[in-house]
């Protein structure tokens, strides 16, 4: 893709073209230039990557580490990148695999820990890292309660259903892109999505009855 074509392309096409350009720079030994160009990709995708990682890890510090690790891994494996799969989809697969590895490692550690001290700290929702102007305090409390209810309901979904609904509804991926990220075929993606939505509605309805 030429510079003029990239300028007229959509964001995903432009990102894929930029990733291919970085890949070519690496191959030519122009590493400083490659790192500088790759930084542009990082800045464009960092916030989205944080949202995805937080859905899995629920720990702000671990999210930051997971996102950084994913960008480093993607940069070091750009030689395997092919433009037929958008950079966003290719990178998301690396990020999710890294988050799942962290969850597995965390689970293994917890099996050997009898007890841990309670620090009394709580993780702050990413969505609340914005200036506190606009909605009233009452509206903010209600919105936070709804987010917490939804997050709790999402946590009760089977792993694949949670992944599919997160990518489809939170990140706006198509069934084809979710298929590329997860390795599931498109029909299976749609089945998981249907079941996830149905289960979420049931869980949120039960929660509403319980708090009324």
Residue 69, class by beta-carbon neighbours within 10 Å (0-12 exposed, 13-18 middle, 19+ buried)? middle
CA pair distance 66, 53, nearest whole angstrom:
7
Phi-psi region of 158 (alpha: psi -120 to 50; beta: other; left: phi over 0): beta
In order along the chain (212 residues), what is the average pLDDT of each group of 10 residues? Answer: 51 91 96 95 94 87 93 95 88 90 75 44 44 57 69 80 82 84 88 88 72 46
What structural domains does the chain harbor?
Answer: 9-111 (1.10.1740.10), 136-212 (1.10.10.10)
């Amino acid at each position: 893709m030429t510079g003029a074509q990239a300028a007229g392309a959509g964001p995903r096409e432009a990102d894929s073209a930029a990733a291919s350009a970085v890949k070519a720079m690496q191959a030519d030994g122009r590493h400083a230039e490659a790192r500088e160009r790759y930084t542009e990709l990082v800045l464009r995708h960092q916030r989205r990557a944080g949202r995805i990682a937080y859905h899995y890890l629920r720990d702000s510090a671990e999210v930051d580490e997971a996102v950084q690790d994913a960008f480093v891994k993607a940069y070091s494996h750009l030689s395997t990148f092919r433009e037929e799969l958008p950079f966003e989809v290719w990178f998301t697969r690396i990020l999710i695999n890294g988050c799942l590895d962290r969850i597995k490692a965390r689970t293994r550690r917890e099996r050997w820990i009898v007890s841990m001290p309670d620090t009394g700290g709580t993780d702050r929702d990413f969505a609340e890292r914005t200036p506190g102007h606009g909605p009233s305090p009452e509206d903010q409390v209600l919105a936070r309660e709804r987010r917490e209810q939804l997050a709790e309901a999402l946590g009760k979904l089977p792993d694949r259903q949670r992944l599919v609904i997160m990518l489809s509804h939170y990140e706006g991926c198509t069934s084809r892109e979710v298929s590329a990220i997860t390795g599931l075929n498109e029909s299976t993606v749609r089945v998981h999505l249907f079941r996830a939505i149905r289960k979420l509605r049931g869980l949120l309805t039960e929660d509403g009855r319980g708090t009324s």
